[in-house]
Structure 1
């Protein structure tokens, strides 16, 4: 795998982290503000799910294109161009009231996110040495999670006091941070720049699933099992993203401010989980074990949702979702490290786009189902149904994940037998970008 040679560029990691955090805050600020506005105006579950689908569909549909853009076009160009476009779109959104136009602008906003997500995700491994990747991933995830934590809480306060326009204007300003990051980050990906990759003595060697130009997810059974299990669970539990606003606001009788605090509890747990499990990601050199640990943590998320169906108040829900967030954050770090280890550097933009779009596509199916289910049943039993469906899905994927891990260990043993000198503390060449 290809990481930055020499020392890690922590200044670049800091800039990418700041850009991720501020833009993430703006994303969740706008989404929460629009969701609260719909719910407060008396809109039903179908309207809320329609808005959320508009914010998700471009990330799924455009993933094949944006992943290739992230690998072939300069990261500086993409961050600056997408940031300026998103700021302009959000400015228009702040002054738009017609529901059809709002949904259309939200979809355009998500198209910009479909570009910046794989660009930033693929940049981080290029900024650091392999040993520093878990820490860098935790920093990057912490920034995104803190932004997601602040966004709903700010939306709850600002919508209650000022309506939806101010949150959307703040969101427009947040995208300018992406422009600044594009100008200041020294690490580059894409474009015409080509650099020979570097591996390090003592680093576990892993096969390139394919050359950078021919990389395909299906050629790596371990990564395919990871993406399939995540997509399956997201599809099973994804309806909770529509149901939660009605569960917290109506079933539990909470204010918009409490809604923001409760949803923020999960985000805060994700921050804690990222740092708790980052050392584990660094110590586990067996990719199969890393995948198994991630699936176990994913099961913890689903159990937290299942247990939350029984709470009598939003305040009791907070610690449960905090623990669910811890397992969610740990799973995210483990997955990011596994993906960076196994994908050729020049194909990581596509890999992160495929990884993200698979989960988001499955979540979109859950969003649509959530809107339909809310027309048929009360929120509390639906929360229980989401948690149970997710837990059973994790259990169903345990066998194929274990099978993929065993196959990977067998393949590694064959490689070691065929090349006894590899892995004995010697640096080995990797395929050029």
Structure 2
């Protein structure tokens, strides 16, 4: 096979962007939304530290956001299965625009109110937790079933570009003119995203039949627990993040261990560079069918790369290991998302998206705590390397326990086949209705 053909096969598949108007709006709206939110992501802790001079005050923001994330992530998933997901997405997006506007106003005051920052932080966590399941569940409704791998990779690409460019520009802006203007940029970007998302086609109400309730949430949890392939996606990611998420140690690694504090920013962006490369060359992922196996291997490679990063003698080798780790983490995420989008029934997609959000949000929080405790008790290098080794070993053990996850094949899995056939019937019905509507008046009754 010519090298030119091989390279084209690696290129990200942009078919969903060309073929689906709604996916284009979801992609561009979501990317701009992520880009804007990165400004507040950087500015909020800076603003708190600037006002208080306290690391605890900065850390307390995470504690304030934790409970809303858990409670409203699950409730938002239930709402996404009951309401028009477009309406829920727009309502929560508009709420974030208003909240960021209040945050901007407060930051411009001569004496910003500290309590208001924590209140807005908690309310933003509520709005974000309720929005994310609706946005994730909408993806399934905007493209054909066979285009889901490509759509998933494109979504990840947009997010990674935003997460790479946003913090870098936010840091420059904050350093030049202050955090208040960073909040203002976030608000403006969110407003543009809302205008783009406004053009999404109306969607039918969810298929649950009942209003969002605790019973509906429990139904979603039971469904997730009943499928060992889904449990594999959650468990492998949680293990990888709890064991091998060392980002909290980057200041100590750069300053005390490697004695190159000027490279601290590079430590924070190296994984994002790897993730961006992985998504930009993700065309090959559409030809993979054993998605569970791909998740396991990517998670183990992530752990191995983190372990090596802790052993490297120089900054350049650490950064190269982190680029590899970031690409493996992104591939694991892409294949997990493909499993979710190709196998979960539409009537449960919102609730399961809420559970997914918790699985990839809580793991890093616990991982940061683990890394800090081990570093204080042992050493920074020991905490990084031991976490990576533990990740590899524990993912391997989890795979032995969840053998169905390792053997998962999208071509034969009963859930994937059922969903593929359901989507094919729905597409055929819609095409038939369109053709019926194009027939001349009286044709349908002729004969």
TM-score if structure 1 supplies the norm length? 0.78
Secondary structure at the aligned position of 1:309 is classed as: helix
Larger Rg belongs to: 2
Which is richer in helix? 2
**340-349 or 226-235: which moved more?**
226-235
8 A contact 2:220–2:352 mirrored in 1: no
- For the aligned residue pairs, the C-alpha RMSD in angstroms reads 3.8
C-alpha change, 1:213 and 1:36, in structure 2 (3 Å) is: closer
SS at match of 2:203: coil
Q: CA deviation at 1:32?
A: 2.5
CA contact (8 A) 1:60 1:360 kept: no
Whether 1:59 aligns to 2:78 is: no
Structure 1 position 139 matched with structure 2 position 158: no
Contact in 2 for aligned 1:235/1:365 (Cα 8 Å): yes
Work out the number of aligned pairs and report it: 395
Q: Does 1:276 align with 2:281?
A: yes
CA distance in 2, matches of 1:43, 1:387: 31
Please name the residue that 1:247 is paired with: 253
> Could you tell me how far apart the structure 1 residues matched to 2:358 and 2:76 are?
11
| Aligned equivalent of 1:29, options 30, 36, 39 | 39
More displaced 10-residue stretch of structure 1: 266-275 or 338-347: 266-275
The answer to whether structure 1 residue 77 and structure 2 residue 77 are counterparts is no
The answer to which of 295-304 and 381-390 deviates more is 381-390
Q: Does the 8 Å CA contact 2:375/2:382 hold for their aligned counterparts?
A: no
Runs of 5+ unmatched residues, structure 2: 1-15, 210-218, 430-447
Q: Contact 2:72–2:129 at 8 Å: present in 1 too?
A: yes
Distance 1:427 1:349, change over 3 A: closer
Which residue matches 1:386? Answer: 387
Q: What is the DSSP-based 3-state SS (H/G/I as helix, E as strand, rest coil) of the residue aligned with 2:311?
A: coil
1:18 equivalent in structure 2: 28
Superposed displacement of residue 293, structure 1 = 1.1
Q: Give the deviation of 1:262 after TM superposition.
A: 3.5
**Structure 1 residues 214, 28: closer, same or farther in 2, change over 3 A?**
closer
CA distance in 2, matches of 1:80, 1:34: 24
Question: Which whole-Å CA distance do the structure 2 matches of 1:276 and 1:185 have between them?
Answer: 28
Q: Assess, with a 3 A threshold, how the Cα gap between structure 1 residues 47 and 413 changes in structure 2: closer, same or farther.
A: closer
Relative to structure 1, the CA distance from residue 87 to residue 343 in structure 2 (aligned partners, 3 Å threshold; closer, same or farther) is: same
Q: Distance in 2 between matches of 1:152 and 1:413?
A: 40
Task: Name the residue aligned to 1:290.
Answer: 291
Which moved further from structure 2: 151-160 or 98-107? Answer: 98-107
In 2: Cα distance, 1:386 partner to 1:101 partner: 37
The answer as to 2:190 corresponding to 1:175 is: yes
1 CA distance for matches of 2:316 and 2:17?
Answer: 46
Partners of 2:381 and 2:186 lie apart in 1 by 32
TM-score normalized by the length of structure 2: 0.76
Q: Is the 8 A contact 1:149 1:268 kept in 2?
A: yes
What is the CA–CA distance in structure 2 between the aligned matches of 1:12 and 1:426, rounded to whole Å? 20
Question: How many angstroms apart in 2 are the aligned matches of 1:57 and 1:188?
Answer: 30
Distance in 1, matches of 2:310 and 2:79, equals 42
Equivalent residue number for residue 113 of structure 1: 128
Q: CA deviation at 1:49?
A: 4.1
Moved more, 267-276 or 183-192: 183-192
Q: CA–CA distance in 2 between the matches of 1:98 and 1:375? A: 34
SS at match of 2:402: helix
Cα deviation, 1:337-357, whole Å, max 9, x if unaligned, reads: 111121101211111111111
Contact 1:225–1:400 at 8 Å: present in 2 too?
Answer: no
Distance in 1 between the 2:253 and 2:99 partners?
A: 31
Residues 255-304 of structure 1 show CA distances to partners (whole Å, capped at 9, x for unaligned) of 68x54444223112212223434533x2233xxx2101111101222222
Change (3 A) 1:110 1:157: same
1:11-410 matches, cutoff 5 A: 11-36=21-46, 43-44=54-55, 47-94=57-104, 95-96=106-107, 97=112, 99-186=114-201, 188=203, 190=205, 216-238=223-245, 240-248=246-254, 251-252=257-258, 258-280=263-285, 282-285=286-289, 289-311=290-312, 314-370=315-371, 379-406=380-407
- The structure-2 alpha-carbon separation of the partners of 1:296 and 1:340, relative to structure 1 and needing over 3 Å to count, comes to same
Q: Relative contact order (C-alpha < 8 Å, sep 6+): which is higher? A: 1
Separation of aligned partners in 2, 1:30 and 1:65: 24
Distance 1:382 1:247, change over 3 A: same
